[in-house]
């Protein structure tokens, strides 16, 4: 089968013919890929920026936002049938540890991360995963455009659920970014919190999407100007919550600067740095939340909202052969929603 791979860091993605995956464990499932979302994490991997964290052996088949149809099941899998449409949770977990049994399976110490840590991902025709990682979709569903929910939507769901207890009707929540993750986050913030939602997005097309999806205020401003605008909007108090979906450049520092006393800085985007002053953290009694991918229950809940038509994402389907160009477009900021590779 054809696979899109990182063969050398800093070099364009390459295509290779590789063997189709086979069942290795009774709980394994082979998924025929319908769509594989392109995520900014894939850009970071391509540049070698996740090597220290995951040490993936190269070549690595990318793709951790996957959806498709059950193609083959292991002997112990009885709840899934060949042809079932599914979305694939990004993590393969053990199911036996305390984290898995507590519903925080993304904290499993034995987890694997297909498309990231060396386990082949979904930039291919087929991929192997665990039955525990699959969320069945309603019969007749086209899985391809839903692939980004496996990470972009899932991460937004997890982050919004975690920050919701910090909100009330007098709360101002600021979200930096209105791309793929941001689109879902905006909808969930409107649905799961009573807060006033402010979106900071410099790109006009993504800013328009934020307004369409229900943001109360949208600032098309650079981070420092946005911080000043938020302080003015809140009569100098600042935002009670900032959800940072960018995590680069000036955004982390300006996100902290615009927080009110007792505020929460919730981090999803990465690649940048933040200087923390302990006295400031104490005087303003601030909280920082780091967000990984969400749990399996998070994905189940999200896909129920998707099935009800209450959460959507702008997906553009492109052929797998376009992977390198789309990754370049994403890095250059030319992808407004989510691009999905179709084998």
Query: Residue 333 pLDDT > 90, yes or no?
Result: no
The sign of the dihedral angle between the CA atoms of 125, 68, 91, 189 is positive
Residue 303 lies in a domain: no
Pair (105, 209) in one structural domain: no
Pair (194, 276) in one structural domain: yes
Pair (53, 171) in one structural domain: no
Nearest Cα residue to 240 out of 196, 199, 278, 272? 196
Within 13 Å, how many C-alpha atoms sit on residue 209's CB side? Answer: 25
Nearest Cα residue to 239 out of 174, 291, 176? 174
- How far from 81 is each of 70, 74, 131, 145, CA to CA, in Å? 7, 11, 11, 21
Pair (135, 161) in one structural domain: no
Pair (214, 262) in one structural domain: yes
Confidence at residue 335, expressed as pLDDT on a 0 to 100 scale: 87
**Predicted confidence (pLDDT) per residue in 77-118, tens digit:** 999 999 999 999 999 999 999 999 999 999 999 999 999 999
With pLDDT > 70 as the criterion, what percentage of the chain qualifies? 100
Q: Residue 224: which domain range? A: 154-290
Distance between CA atoms of residues 224 and 255, nearest Å: 9
Pair (261, 183) in one structural domain: yes
Residue 259 lies in a domain: yes
Backbone φ and ψ of 89, nearest 5°: -60, 140
Pair (50, 185) in one structural domain: no
DSSP string, 275-321: ---HHHHHHHT-EEEE--S--HHHHHHHHHHHHTTS----EEEEEGG
Residue 306 lies in a domain: no
Do 159 and 243 form a contact (C-beta atoms < 8 A)?
yes
Pair (190, 273) in one structural domain: yes
Residue 301 lies in a domain: no
- pTM recorded for the entire structure: 0.95
Pair (107, 163) in one structural domain: no
Confidence at residue 336, expressed as pLDDT on a 0 to 100 scale: 81
**Predicted confidence (pLDDT) per residue in 155-183, tens digit:** 999 999 999 999 999 999 999 999 999 99
Pair (18, 66) in one structural domain: yes
Domain CATH number, residue 175:
3.40.50.720
Domain CATH number, residue 19:
3.90.180.10
Which DSSP symbol is given to 151? T
Nearest Cα residue to 313 out of 180, 156, 177, 138? 180
Residue 305 lies in a domain: no
Residue 163 lies in a domain: yes
Query: Residue 263 pLDDT > 90, yes or no?
Result: yes
Residue 308 lies in a domain: no
* Number of domains, the chain: 2
Residue 302 lies in a domain: no
Pair (211, 107) in one structural domain: no
**Predicted confidence (pLDDT) per residue in 114-156, tens digit:** 999 999 999 999 999 999 999 999 999 999 999 999 999 999 9
Pair (24, 56) in one structural domain: yes
Proportion of the chain in helix, strand, coil states, percent, rounded to 5: 35, 25, 40
Distance between CA atoms of residues 69 and 128, nearest Å: 12
């Amino acid at each position: 089968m054809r696979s899109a791979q990182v063969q050398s860091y800093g070099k364009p993605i390459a295509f290779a013919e590789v063997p189709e995956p086979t069942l290795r464990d009774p709980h394994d499932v082979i998924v025929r890929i319908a769509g594989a979302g392109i995520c900014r994490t894939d850009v970071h991997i391509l540049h070698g920026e996740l090597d220290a964290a995951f040490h993936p052996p190269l070549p690595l088949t990318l793709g951790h936002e996957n959806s498709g149809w059950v193609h083959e099941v292991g002997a112990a899998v009885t709840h899934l049938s060949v042809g079932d449409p599914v979305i694939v949770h990004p993590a393969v977990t053990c199911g036996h540890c305390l984290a898995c049994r507590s519903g925080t399976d993304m904290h499993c110490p034995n987890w694997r991360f297909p498309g990231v840590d060396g386990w082949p991902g979904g930039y291919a025709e087929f991929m192997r995963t665990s039955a525990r990682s699959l969320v069945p979709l309603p019969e007749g569903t086209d899985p391809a455009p839903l692939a980004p929910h496996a990470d972009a939507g899932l991460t937004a769901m997890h982050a919004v659920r975690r920050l919701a207890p910090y909100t009330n009707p007098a709360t101002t929540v600021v979200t930096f970014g209105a791309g793929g993750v941001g689109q879902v986050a905006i909808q969930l913030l409107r649905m799961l919190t009573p807060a006033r939602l402010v979106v900071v997005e410099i790109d006009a097309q993504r800013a328009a999407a934020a307004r369409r999806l229900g943001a109360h205020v949208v600032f098309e401003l650079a981070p420092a100007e946005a911080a000043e605008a938020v302080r003015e909007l809140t009569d100098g108090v600042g935002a009670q919550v900032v959800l940072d979906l960018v995590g680069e450049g000036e955004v982390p520092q300006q996100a902290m600067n615009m927080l009110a006393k007792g505020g929460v800085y919730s981090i999803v985007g990465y690649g940048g740095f933040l200087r923390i002053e302990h006295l400031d953290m104490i005087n303003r009694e601030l909280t920082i939340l780091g967000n990984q991918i969400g749990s399996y229950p998070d994905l189940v809940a999200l896909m129920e909202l998707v099935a009800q038509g209450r959460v959507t994402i702008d997906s553009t389907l492109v052929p797998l052969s376009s992977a390198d160009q789309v990754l370049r477009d994403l890095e250059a900021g030319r992808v407004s929603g989510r691009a999905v590779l179709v084998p």
